[in-house]
Structure formats: structure tokens, C-alpha cells
A and B are shown apart, each in its own frame.
Chain A
Amino acid sequence: MTDMTTKPAPSARQVKRQTRNRMLAEFWFYFSENRGAVIGLFVILALVVVAIFAPFFAPHEPTQQYRDALLFPPAWQDGGSWEFILGTDAVGRDILSRLIFGARFSLFIGVVVVGLALLGGVSIGLIAGYFRGPVDTVIMRLMDVILAFPSLLLALVMVAVLGPGLLNAMIAIAIVLQPHFVRLTRASVLNELNREYVISARVAGASPFYLMTRTILPNCLGPVIVQATLSFSNAILDAAALGFLGMGAQPPTPEWGTMLAEAREFILRAWWVVTFPGLAILITVLAINLMGDGLRDALDPKLKRT
């Protein structure tokens, strides 16, 4: 930065872009230290690419039923065919194609649900923790009420009220997951609120909004990020459960959880019908959790070196 004084003064926009590039480079440096996180990131990127270009990757239409190929095993097993690499399900649909198209739904569900729950939960938790008093009491008792219900039951009731469908299922799951974020954020905020750096920011003239968003919130994000990655998997699984009960994604939508639910009765006869959707969920969730770990470490300045 010292040589900048000799050059003509850079415009404000250039300075902004430079700082952003430097921050990105710094972030990547620390993120790439964690090998698991990088693997997780690449798996997720691959999933996203597959989801976006699903029609190019999938050998068949996801809803096309091949009546002469019911419950075909995977290609490498006796009776399998290379036409259906991962086999077919009970009505003759290609499992690989359904998985590839299913990635769209599952990732979409995860992102939307976690996004909604995170946004709502963190804001509410921040307000509860910062203002304390009656505001806090009202919010936290409300969250306790939500937590007191079995989560799936509550989601079910909400979907019943809103009407079945994937979008309503996602809203319901987001509301059910939200209290966890509220509690976590509130607890961290309470922890940070009376630290001296918060007081000194207040003495420096920070408004409540500035204090909440700039001073306190960044110091509370560590556990919230981990919770978000864990919730991602919960969201996918809950959506699957709702789909199974006929309240979520409606057949023949190739959603991974719905596929899992549909295949329940063939667990003993045709292992591939349950295994592959299950594996898809497992790999996605694992990759996200690994990335979440790395993300938390990369965002924690205490782990940075000189």
C-alpha cells in the first residue's frame, strides 16, 4: 500500500475493488488450509453444475416410465443394463436421471429453507438479545412454544393450513427450524453485549442498528454458520418426510426424499431403489457440513496468523 502514494491517487471505486479482491484472496488462503472444506466445496460445486445442466447429464427423462424395465438392477449386476446405469424403480423410471434432476429440488429446498430460517432467526435473535426485557421475553416464549411441538407435526399442521406443495412445505420447515437460530443467536449476543469492545463502540457513537449488525453480529456468526450447515441436511430430510406424507413435493417430482419414501416397500427386494437416493442425500449433507467447518475457521480471525 505504501507505493500507492507515488502513483496518481486511485479513485474510490478502484480502492473498493482492490480491498474486495484482497479480502477474497485472504479468505481463500485460510479456507484452502482445510482440505476437507475444499473437497466439500468442490462436491457442492459439482452438484450445482449437475443440477443446473441436468437435461444434458441425464440419459433419460426423469418421469419417463419404461414399462418393460421395471426394477432393473444397476448395470454391473446380473440382469442390469447399461441403458439404466443405476437401475430403475418400480414403475420403470431411470434412477440416475431422477437423481440428477432431484439435485435441483434438494439443493433448492436446502438453500431456500436455510436462507429463510437464517434470515428470520438471526434477526429475531439479535433483537431479543440486544433489547432484552419484555421484547426478549415475548420472543423467547413464542420460540419455546414452537420448539415444544414435535417439529414434523408442526410442519405438517402448517402445510395442512397453507395447502400441500413444495413451496408451502419449505416455508413450514423454515418456521420450524427458525427457533434454533433464534436461541443460538440470542445466546451469543448476550455473551458479547457486555464486552468492552461493544461498550467502546457505543462510546464512539454507534447507533443500536450499527452495534447490532456491525459490532455484535459478526462475532456471533461462528456457531450460527455450523447450525446453518446442519440445518441444510435437516431441511432436505424434513422435506422428504413431508413428501412421503403427501404434504411436500408431489409425485412424480424426482425429489430425493420423495424417491426414498416411494421406495420404502422395495428395501428388501431391490436395494438400489433406496440406496442411491440415500447416498445422494448423505454425500450432499456431508459435503455441506465439511464446507461449513472450513467456512467457520476461515471467518474466525482468531485463527489467523501474522
Chain B
Amino acid sequence: MSKPVVFGQNLSRYYEVSGGVFKKPGLVKALDGASFTLEPGKTLAVVGESGCGKSTLARLVSMIEPPSGGTLEIDGKPAVVGSVEHRKTVQIVFQNPFGSLNPRHKVGTILEEPLRLNTDMDAQARRKRAEETMERVGLRLEHYERYPHMFSGGQRQRIAIARALMLNPRVLVLDEPVSALDLSIQAQVLNLLADLQDELGLAYMFISHDLSVVKHIANEVMVMYLGKVVEAGKTTDLFEKPRHPYTAALLSATPKADPAKKSHRIMLTGELPSPLNPPKGCAFNPRCAYATEECRRSAPKLEAVGVTQVACFHPLG
């Protein structure tokens, strides 16, 4: 095992929501105690349905927001909000390539912005670096002078990836980087990401709700539900033998390419509960087929069960 680049322990992010003048302000636990490590050359996938706190985790790791609780360490040292050090280590690629590029700037300007802000390279050195990076992500040099709206979604995502690479980071947070793209383009971008990881030894935190993509790209998976990690482990172990009922339900919902293979679809009833008013005990208990009195009373902790870590009182066989 190589040394982790980023180490997060019990990361939490709470938001206060005012319910009006006379109501008590509510507390939304968007993320409630997530722990993980990111290692060079490895990919950690974070999956879950919308509203489960995946993007909040991405924002914490890339320091767009400070955590409400827990610690985030880079190379064993605590991360400082907004420090140059942090910026040069962790960069983020957003989901929507149509919103993440400044429409007023040319590609060259977009790519050179991180250099202009963080280094004292001169114009020629910046341009050279931008051109190298463009080549690396499969953009042509003449694209330097163009505006983002002249590109397709896949190319825009390449630009976004190139910008994230400009400062030579060691960690990329990928917040659903391919879910806004066509299926054929998705594969291209995923291959590009895989190549970059091989070449540069990047650590990825891959946020996604697409399990087939996750299975393809991730070394480890973290399943989240309502701000909490419910199961974490190696991709192969987790996909082969899900222990948490929620993971099992998620996996059963993934379409399979083999029609001969019988699949048993676990249908979840009910809705994702409001994070303003989470259920008592295990957050998943109102929708869980195996829920008992114990589940409704107290929340299970994440513990090692077999090869994966599960937060459940009744892990599946």
C-alpha cells in the first residue's frame, strides 16, 4: 500500500436552514461523518442517489467549503482552506461542461488562469504549458484561440480536465464527470481519465450514480445514503457480494447486458427521506425489508464485515 495523498476522517458538513421567523432553524446534515483515503494511481468511487451527500463530499475535499467537523489531511498534514498548497494538490472537474467554462474566455485563457493566479510563469511559459496539456487531453493546438461554445460536450469536458491538470495536481475530484455526456463520448472521456491516471499517477475521487461506470473505473467504492457511508470496500468485493440492503438494491437496479442472465430486481418502496427530518435510528430503516426494532432505535456504525465495511445490524449473507 502506498502512502495516501488525501486522508479524510469523520468529515461532516451541516447547513443551517431557517424555517422562517418563528420556527427554530433546522439543521441539514448533508454529510455526516465520512472517512476515506485517496492513494496515488487509485480511484475511489462515491455512489448514491441524488441528495445523499456525494457532491458535498466533493466540495469539502476540493475545499470549496470548509467542513463542519472532522479532519482532512494532505500528505499527513491538516489541509488549510484556500492554501496554495491545497490548490496545487487537489483540483476538481465538474459535472456540467457547459457551465464550468467561462463563456467570455478563450480556451487558452481558461487553461492559463490557474497558472496566472498561482505561479509567476511568464506568458510564453504559460502558453507552452497550456499547449502541452491540451495535447495530453487530446485537444488540437488551434483550439487555443477558440471560445468554449464552439466545442461539443466531450471536448468541453476535455478542456475542463486540462484546466484541472494545469497545476500538476496529484488528486482529481471528478464530480459526475461523464453523466452529462453522450454514451459514446462517455467512453472516450473515461479512457482519457484512465490514461491520465496511468501516466501521471493521479488519485481520483470519482463521484457517480452510474454503477456500470463505477465498476469499470474504480478500485474502491463508497456507497452513501442520506449523508452517511453505508458500505465501503474494494469494487470487486462490493459488486460481487453487497452486504448492505441498500447496496444490494442499488446493484440490482443496474441494467445488465446479458439477457440470459436472470436478475432479481429489489424494488425499494418510499422516497429518500428529507435530510431536514431524518428517520430515527438507521436512516435506511423506512425503506429496508430487513428492518427490525433495533434499526428503528439506534444507528449502526460502519464496521468491517467480511471483506467490506458495512453500517448495518443485519448485513446480508
Binding site for B on A (CB under 8 A): 2, 9, 12, 15, 195-197, 199-206, 210, 215, 218-219, 301-302, 304-306
Contacts and interface: CB of A to CB of B under 8 A. Distances in A.
A196 B96 contact: yes
18 contacts: A197-B102, A199-B94, A200-B163, A203-B64, A203-B87, A204-B87, A204-B113, A205-B114, A205-B118, A206-B113, A215-B102, A218-B104, A219-B102, A301-B103, A301-B104, A301-B147, A302-B103, A306-B150
A219 B101 CA distance: 12
Contact of A205 (B84, B92, B96): B84
Contact of B146 (A9, A196, A204, A306): A306
Residue of A203, A205, A302 with highest tally of chain B CB at under 10 A? A203
B254 interface: no
A12 B99 contact: no
A9 B127 CA distance: 14
Interface in B90-112: 91-92, 94-96, 99-104
Residue of B102, B146, B167 with highest tally of chain A CB at under 10 A? B102
B117 A210 contact: yes
Nearest to A195: B99
Nearest to B87: A205
B124 interface: yes
Nearest to A9: B124
B59 to A, nearest CB: 9
Interface residues of B, number: 32
Contact of B94 (A15, A196, A205): A196
Given A12-B122, A219-B102, A203 B91 contact: yes
B149 interface: yes
Interface in B132-149: 141, 146-147, 149
B63 interface: yes
A20 B149 CA distance: 23
Interface string B143-174: 00011011000000000100100010000000
Contacts, number: 68
Nearest to A299: B104
B114 to A, nearest CB: 4
Contact of B117 (A199, A204, A301): A204
Contacts of B113: 201, 204, 206
Contacts of B141: 2
B146 A200 contact: no
A12 B123 contact: yes
A196 B100 contact: yes
Nearest to B127: A1
Contacts of B96: 196
Interface string B71-95: 0000000000010100100011011
Contacts of B163: 200, 204
Nearest to B117: A205
Contacts of A306: 146, 150
Nearest to A199: B64
B7 to A, nearest CB: 20
B62 A203 contact: yes
Nearest to A15: B123
